[in-house]
Amino acid sequence: MHLTDKLYDTFIVDDRWKYLASGLKTTLIITFFAVIIGMVLGFLIAIIRATADRTGKLKIPNLLCKLYLTVIRGTPVMVQLLIIYYVIFASVRIDKTFVGILAFGLNSAAYVAEIVRSGIMSIDSGQFEAGACLGLNYRRTMLYIILPQAFKNILPALANECIVLLKETSVAGYIALEDLTKGGDIIRSLTYEAFLPLIAVALIYLILVITLSRLVTLLERRLQKSDRG
């Protein structure tokens, strides 16, 4: 069989490309919402952790956060996904995409939290003091002075976390979620031809990651305005 025939057989017959298209859509949806959950929850955890470290308050929430980080970072994301689907939501019919978003979001939050916390810790304590001396309380100082600076410093690490998350969603097929990877796999099982669908899947991931990296570079450049000098 010629390459063109193989291409035709893999992607065109029975509109098989649609497996990839709808898979891509699912992957993007899961990644997008998981990133949002991860960022929101991650920032929250990081702020609780940093506040506890700095002021000695929030002892119990801090303990819970530490426990959460230990468990989430100490177990594989795939196992977490399986547990959420087959154990936690075992007795309810639930949208698998939602399960995917939840699992990957909760997982990502742990990593985001540690990134953000390191960002907050990297800011000179003089910035907290300068805020305090102007009458800005801890919350305001955090919000207007510390977090904007921390965010700029950790942007590359956060972007990297998004990229990792995008790629990690490829295990979603284990709960029969038809994401991009699963889409390629379905085509493979239909055509008994592994090379083309899997390479296509890999290429799509690669393009997504490169695009993401580009966007981050642009954003970084914008944020770096205050560094000229």
Opening angle at CA 18, ends 15 and 21, nearest 5: 155
To 10 degrees, the CA torsion angle through 104, 23, 26, 80?
-20
- Return the number of the residue (74 or 126) whose C-beta is nearest another protein: 126
- Closer by beta carbon to another protein, 127 or else 160: 127
User: How many chain residues interact with another protein (CB under 8 A)?
Assistant: 23
Does position 167 bind another protein by CB under 8 A? no
Q: How far is the CB of 229 from another protein (least distance, A)?
A: 4
Closer residue to another protein, CB minimum distance, 14 or 129: 129
For another protein, the binding residue among 53, 76, 148, 217 (CB under 8 A) is 148
Q: How far apart are CA 34 and CA 101, in angstroms?
A: 5
Distances (CA, A) of 9 to 3, 6, 13, 78, 177: 10, 5, 5, 32, 24
Distance CA 78, CA 102 (A): 13
At 129, which amino acid appears? E
Give yes or no for residue 96 binding another protein (CB under 8 A).
no
Cα separation of 4 and 199, whole Å? 15
- A 10 A CB-CB count for 67 gives 10
Distance of alpha carbon 40 from its chain centroid, rounded? Answer: 11
56 binds another protein (CB under 8 A): no
Q: Give the x/- contact pattern for another protein in 114-143, rule: CB under 8 A.
A: ----------x-xx-xxxxxxxxx--x---
Find the shortest distance in angstroms from Cβ 104 to another protein.
31
Binding status of residue 229 toward another protein by CB under 8 A: yes
- Identity of the residue, 132 or 199, whose beta carbon is nearer to another protein in the bound complex: 132
Under rule CB under 8 A, which residues in 7-46 are in contact with another protein?
none
Q: What's the CA gap between 131 and 146, in Å, rounded?
A: 9
Name the site residues for another protein (rule: CB under 8 A): 124, 126-127, 129-137, 140, 144-145, 148-149, 152, 225-229
